[in-house]
Amino acid sequence: MSYPDLSDLINHLFGTNIQLPIAMFGTFVALAIVVAAWIGKKEVMRFEQLGKLPSTASSGNKNIAPHLLISDLAMICAIFGVIGARLFHLLEYPHEFVQDPIAKIFSRDGFSIYGGLIVGAIAGAVFLRKRAVPLIPMLDALAPSIILGYGIGRIGCQVSGDGDWGTAANVAAKPNWLPDWLWAQTYENNVVGVVIPAPGVYPTPLYEAAAAFLIFAFLWSIRKTNYRTGFLFSAYLLLSGFERLLIEKIRINSDYHLWGMSFTQAEFISTAFITAGVVGIIKTTNSNQLTKIVFSIAIAGALSACTQL
């Protein structure tokens, strides 16, 4: 069952018939921003105390601590993230956009989380640069909160039924110990109005949320180790890239065709994330830290086992 609006959930739980114009996906996105900003602010404060970030940054005509910029940074990333999420979705489905551009622009479905991440990150980087805040240490500080926010946002996809689900589930391959709802769902009353025949499709937003929380737990556990600047964010890129690349195997997406190859937008971006993550880890790791690379690969392998159903 899906709940496009908050009132849908309330009516289902309490048998009421109220109407509240509060979208569930938007609610979870707002929650993701608040939680990520709160945790990110705490980490930036810790980085300031350790000397990894400067104690002051420019803000207009005055200097303030970088952690006091987090609220503004979160708002800027959120605004441009929504724009990027919609833009990347339109690029993913160009034919549908050409046929009915107004409907595609203002529809409630169709947001590319990668588009939101990329455009939001670019806007955030410009914001930090103008305030003379070192970008790489800030990315290290914010890496755990970024993936945590991603996971919370994916729960919003699941609850609202925004069309971000998987392919038709192979029920015959389901392990006996696994609950049916964790293998296949029909997303009744979903926000895009699609009727999914039984037994349903893979609930990939749930898998991505679980993977994101695991990555968050890993990054959080190593954040106080003696790593070089850039390592933590590189680990985030590697693990999040693997997570999305693997989940694409069972997700519904539009394919691009280039030079005889067929791939989705997310597969292309995930590959870029993985490549950047590997390069970053190699550059920030010495021979005594080789175990961190092995551990990162092991975590990626574990995510593969969880998402390759």
Q: Work out the average pLDDT over 235-241.
A: 95
CB 43 within 8 A of CB 139: no
Mean pLDDT of 38-43: 97
| pLDDT at residue 307, as a whole number | 44
Q: What would the pLDDT profile of 94-132 be if each residue is shown by its tens digit?
A: 666 666 666 555 565 566 778 888 999 999 999 999 998
pLDDT at 303 over 60: no
Could you tell me if 204 and 243 are in contact, meaning their C-beta atoms sit under 8 angstroms apart? no
147-195 pLDDT per residue, tens: 999 999 999 999 999 888 999 999 999 999 999 999 999 999 998 889 9
What was the pLDDT predicted at 116? Answer: 85
> pLDDT at position 101, please?
64
pLDDT at 110: 60
**What is the predicted pLDDT for the residue at 162?**
86
Dihedral class, residue 189 (left if φ above 0, else alpha if ψ from -120 to 50, else beta): left
pLDDT interval class at 309 (50, 70, 90): very low
CA neighbor of 127 nearest in space, from 82, 75, 86: 75
Q: Give 234's pLDDT tier (boundaries 50, 70, 90).
A: very high
- How many residues can be counted in the chain? 309
Confidence at residue 46, expressed as pLDDT on a 0 to 100 scale? 96
**Across residues 75-84, what is the average pLDDT?**
91
In angstroms, the CA 96 to CA 84 distance is 18
Tens digit of pLDDT for each residue in 252-290?
A: 877 766 677 777 888 888 999 999 998 998 888 765 555
